[in-house]
Chain A
């Protein structure tokens, strides 16, 4: 069964304290991996798409990496405004019948 697991469920950091969020997956065929940020009461906001192992993407304090079994979202010197729930999703399947499977998310709190 296709599965996406994110860890930790919750993470508390001090401002400036770098860390990583993990997204591990077991799927029949990876077509892409997506990272989203979700603020309370709002829809997920797209961050990155990764398609193949070894690929990396960066945006401000965030950097996403992908291996054959997992993806990491590295947060360098986080600020309080980085506090949110971070979701990863894996696209699996073939052709026009792909399926996007979401992890449960990691809720990040950055304290000043």
Chain B
């Protein structure tokens, strides 16, 4: 059974640009959540989607947004990139929302220069 797949794995962007990251959940999983991981802040929750609806949102500025498609695949977008957005962005999937065990993908490494 394939795990959570994230693309791209590595990317470099310039300050002010925007970026879109993609996530394909484990087959049968309908909930997708996104996390930002940095050495200083650790793992921080961005948002969670279930049935194409955002169920929960962390404390991040509006530049961070996401969406989920009918096939449960999800994308997250960061606009007007700042140097501090450099991080590992992790997608996780679970069978249902909030309460089920979540399984992580390998992450997308974003470097903003």
Stretch at the interface among B11-19, B64-72, B76-84, B94-102: B94-102
Q: Which residues of B contact A89 (CB under 8 A)?
A: 43
In angstroms, Cα B100 to Cα A31, docked, is 10
Are B102 and A100 closer than 8 Å at their CB atoms?
yes
> Which residues from chain A sit less than 8 Å from chain B, CB to CB?
31-32, 34, 36, 41-46, 49, 87, 89, 91, 93, 95-105
> Which residues from chain B sit less than 8 Å from chain A, CB to CB?
4, 6, 33, 35, 42-45, 50, 55-56, 90, 92, 97-99, 101-107, 109
Residue of B nearest to A44 (CB): B104
Q: Which residues of B contact A45 (CB under 8 A)?
A: 104
Q: Known A42-B107, A44-B90; judge A103-B42 contact (CB<8 A).
A: yes
**Chain B at the A interface: SS class:** strand
Q: Known A44-B90, A98-B56; judge A87-B101 contact (CB<8 A).
A: no
User: Smallest Cβ distance from A50 to chain B, in angstroms?
Assistant: 11
User: Smallest Cβ distance from B71 to chain A, in angstroms?
Assistant: 21
In angstroms, Cα B104 to Cα A103, docked, is 16
Q: Which residues of A contact B102 (CB under 8 A)?
A: 34, 46, 100
Residue of B nearest to A98 (CB): B98
Could you list 12 examples of A-B contacts with CB < 8 Å?
A43-B6, A44-B43, A44-B90, A44-B104, A46-B101, A89-B43, A96-B97, A97-B98, A98-B97, A100-B102, A102-B42, A102-B43
User: Smallest Cβ distance from B52 to chain A, in angstroms?
Assistant: 14
A43, A101, A104, most chain B CB atoms within 10 A? A43
